[in-house]
Structure 1
Amino acid sequence: MPPLDRLRFRPPRGVQADAALGLGALALLGIAEGQRLSAGEGSMPSRIASWVLIVAVCGSLLFRRRYPVAVGWFTALATGGYYVLSPIDGPLVVVPIVALYAIAAQGRLRAAVAMAAAMVIGVSAGTLVGDSDVTGTAVFMLSGWLVAVVALGSVRHGRVAYAEEEARLRATEERLRIARELHDVIGHNISMINVQAGAALHRLKKDPTQAEEALGAIKAGSKEALRELRATLGVLRQVDEEAPTAPAPGLARAAELVASAKPAGIEVRISRTGTERPLPAPVDLAAYRIMQESLTNAAKHSDVRQVTVLLAYEDKELILAVEDDGRGAAVQPAHASGGSGIAGMAGRARALGGELVAGPRPEGGFAVRARLPYGNTGEPMERSEG
């Protein structure tokens, strides 16, 4: 027995739906024209002309998606000609109404309004010349139907446009998030490797032992960068791989950041205040990345020798401060554009409803201070010191 989802009826879509609608209208009109033939109404030329118009109008539905305006006007004019030739009040008017909806649904409001107005004017002209089958009430009802069809088509177009714009915004945000994550994952290790490679070259002849230690740190850093890159790309590919055995980036791995900065000649001290608690995953990741980026920026300046990291666990938020003793020069301002550097750190803080302040310290050096709420409480404006 086939599965239930195969037995479930699926209505036709696209060109198949247009073909089904055209064939349905053609079948109903065939019944009506058959009654006309059996009653002996109308001359043979008028019958042939009526059938030509019926087939042309129904067949034109197959092209309404490619040429919506042209098909709309053709069906309206041909349908008007059919009702002039045939005394049968058949359902052919459904076809131009469908074409009218298609025009409005594609956002061509002016063309839809013009076509609806022409249809109302044409029917009204038929009433004025004395067609007893068309009354003022029928004209009024037709006008209401046409207005409703145009309105529904416009609403459909608005919903589709909104959904497309929302999808574009989500795609843009996702690209920025991926770029920021890749920068944070790779940038820190690559910067440390660069600093340690320079130190190894400098010490190679004077102190081979320290050069060997720097080369070992380069090997460990490159291995870690490769591991994190593979893990990130694995998530992006959404492949069915085994879960990574290493802990997720968070403050529990802060000791690794301290160890990676040591070969660069930077001493990192971490102090904690308040009662430590398990942090929400987004807060934990943001704190780790901000600390990582701050140490990366410090490593780029040879005059930095000491970095102090303060973690303050407050009732509703985590306060993170990273201060160094360098000159605090040649850094990226917090309001700079892009998804990396201090701008990327500020973006992480804002995403959690917090804020990030970065700038030179009055006593020298550079400071980064972030406020990371445990729960989203809004998105205050970013500000910069100095």
Structure 2
Amino acid sequence: MRGQVGPAPGRQSWWIVASQRLSPYLDPLLGIVAAAAALTSLLTTDPASVDPRLENPDVVAAIATVVAAGGLAWRRSRPVASYAAMVVGGVVVSLSGHYIGLLSVLILFSLYSLAAHGRRRDGLVGLGVGVAVFGGLALLDVPDLRTSDLLLAVALLVAAWAVGDAIRSRRRQQQDQLLAAVTEERLRIARELHDVVAHSMSLIAVQAGVGAHLIRSDALAAEHSLEVIAETSRRALEQTRSMLGMLRAENEDGTRPPTRGLDDVAELVEDIRAAGLDVALERSGTAELDTAISLTAYRIVQESLTNVIKHSAARTATVTVACTVTTIELEIVDPGPSRASATGSGHGLVGLDERVRLVGGRAEYGAHGAGFRVHAELPVGVRR
């Protein structure tokens, strides 16, 4: 089967880099071009052909035109100041009886920029100021501003503001969505780190205590505890490196370990047994699992057994995994009793609830006789 030629990432990267580098210079360049074009329009147009009352260009009109159009150089960085320069310059040109020319079009772009890159209130104020200025100039009967021109100007001002405000709202929505995605990713990484670190540190703490207790009386048992500590530490580092690798660029080599899943529960149970907790694993049924569901199931079992080690005096626990065509049922039970001195912040169970809810499942946990029981039901695929 012949491979398909994909988009050239190098070309796209070059374009993105070039755009980012040129972006700070685009608006100043726009201001220069707009000022030159507006000044040319003022100087080359015969005022009498537009309105006999218009005066010939002078220094005041030329300076006001350049200032008004040149203000577009700050249309994104200082949209209020840019729009103010445009309005003031246009008013000076009109009140002095000169041809406003291209400024009548550029003021629409300036108002659009204010609405798109400023605050919503600033955009509304700018629209009101623009309408008031054109209305005031019409009342003063300045040249080249008939009633039809006033109505058209007001309609165009409203349209320019509406387009800019819509773009500002859309940009704000995209920022909110990005922030929500970043927050969700942070929570996901926090859950993963908690599960890996809490589970590994619990096993290491137990084995360290066993090794310290037996190092003089049973060297072989103490050596076994050290081996379990070393293996647990290695796996914890691998999983931590895997999670940190998710934060890196996609074009890095894929050497990090695969994500844990339901098929790794047996290995997890063996690790727990090595820590001294006799775990009975019962599995029934098979199913093709979504990756997120499989990871969630693994983390539920891991968190539950870790809690047994940390908070229970039980020497045994039972893990039951039952798969059907549509659901996976997990149950982890220990006979207790719970340690009266055990304390915890509850982040593990909170994370468990979040995981189950995100994939569309349900979970319940609580006292079970003298011990504790966790029961979860997950769909085979993620419910969108």
TM-score by length of 2: 0.84
Alignment of 1:285 onto 2:295: yes
How far apart in 1 are the matches of 2:226 and 2:353? 33
Gaps of 5+ in 1: 379-386
Aligned equivalent of 1:295, options 297, 305, 310: 305
CA contact (8 A) 1:270 1:310 kept: yes
Residues 278 and 316 of structure 2 are in contact (CA less than 8 Å); yes or no, is this contact kept in structure 1? yes
Q: How many residue pairs are counted as aligned between the two chains? A: 366
The answer to whether the 8 A contact 1:304-1:326 is kept is yes
Cα drift, residue 344 of structure 1: 1.1
Query: In the alignment, which residue of structure 2 is the partner of 1:252?
Result: 263
Per the alignment, residue 174 of structure 2 pairs with 163
Deviation by residue 1:250-287 (Cα, 9 ceiling, x = unmatched) = 222222212211232211111123x3123221111111
Matched-pair contact (CA < 8 Å) for 1:332–1:341: no
Q: Structure 2 stretches of 5 or more lacking a match?
A: 1-9
Q: Which residue of 2 aligns with 1:382?
A: none
User: Match of 1:348?
Assistant: 355
Structure 2 vs 1, CA of residues 203 and 277 (structure 1 numbering), >3 Å: closer, same or farther? same
In the alignment, residue 315 of structure 1 is paired with which amino acid? Answer: V
Deviation (angstroms), 1:204: 2.1
Alignment partners' CA distance in 2, 1:376 and 1:233: 24
- The change in CA–CA distance for 1:154 and 1:41 in structure 2 (over 3 A counts) is closer
Q: 1:172 to 1:47 in 2, by over 3 A?
A: same
Deviations 1:124-158 (A, max 9, x none): 33333444632222211111111122222221221
Corresponding residue number in structure 2 for 1:307? 317
Among 329, 335, 343, the alignment partner of 1:319 is: 329
Structure 1 counterpart SS, 2:333:
strand
Distance 1:278 1:331, change over 3 A: farther
Cα pair distance change 1:99/1:84, threshold 3 Å: same
Counterpart selection for 2:380 from 366, 370, 374: 374
Residue 25 of structure 1 contacts residue 92 of structure 1 at CA under 8 Å; is this kept in 2?
no
Structure 1 window deviating more from structure 2 (127-136 vs 161-170): it is 127-136
Matching residue within 158, 162, 171 for 1:151: 162
Q: Which structure 2 residues correspond to residues 181-200 of structure 1 after superposition, within 5 A? A: 181-200=192-211
Identity of aligned residues (%): 31
Structure 1 residue 289, shift from structure 2 partner: 1.1
- 5 Å-filtered alignment, 1:61-80, equals 61-80=72-91
Residues 62 and 221 of structure 1: is their aligned pair in 2 closer, same or farther, counting only changes over 3 Å? same
Aligned-residue offset at 1:85: 2.8
1:41-52 equivalences in 2 (<5 Å): 47-52=58-63
Of the three residues 243, 256, 277, the one matched with 2:255 is: 243
Query: Does the 8 A contact of 2:200 with 2:236 survive in 1?
Result: yes
Change (3 A) 1:108 1:348: closer
8 Å contact from structure 2 (residues 31, 73) kept in 1? no
Partners of 2:34 and 2:70 within 8 A in 1: no
Give the partner amino acid of 2:82: V
Q: How well do the aligned residues superpose, as a CA RMSD in angstroms?
A: 3.1
Q: Structure 2 counterpart of 1:240, which letter? A: E
Task: Report the residue type matching 2:363 in the other structure.
Answer: L
Do the aligned partners of residues 118 and 341 (structure 1) sit closer, same or farther apart at CA in structure 2, a change above 3 Å counting? closer
Q: Is the 8 A contact 1:107 1:154 kept in 2?
A: no
Query: 2:126 & 2:276 partners in 1: Cα distance?
Result: 77
- How many Å apart are 1:107 and its aligned residue? 4.3
Counterpart CA distance in 1 for 2:11 and 2:254 is: 34
Offset of 1:353 from its aligned partner? 0.1
